[in-house]
Amino acid sequence: MPIVTVKMLEGRTDDQKKALVEKVTAAVVETTGASVEAVSIVIEEMKKTDYAVAGVRKSDL
């Protein structure tokens, strides 16, 4: 039972998240041979204040 966690900054639309889930599921099925029903996707959204690169929060850019 593959479980995929996608971490990303908040701000994507429901349509974008739906497309992401469909395409990630298809890729997992294709590469692992798992059934579609066995694939779980978890989307974890982060606020820009809670994510930083090179010492700078995304909210400060």
Which among 39, 44, 42 is positioned nearest to 2, based on CA atoms? 39
Q: Point out which residues pair with 6 in neighbouring strands.
A: 43
| Given 2, 24, 43, 51, the catalytic residue | 2
Q: How far, rounded to the nearest angstrom, does the alpha carbon of residue 61 sit from its chain's CA centroid?
A: 23
For this structure, is 2 an active site residue? yes
What single DSSP character describes residue 10?
A: S
Residues forming the active site: 2
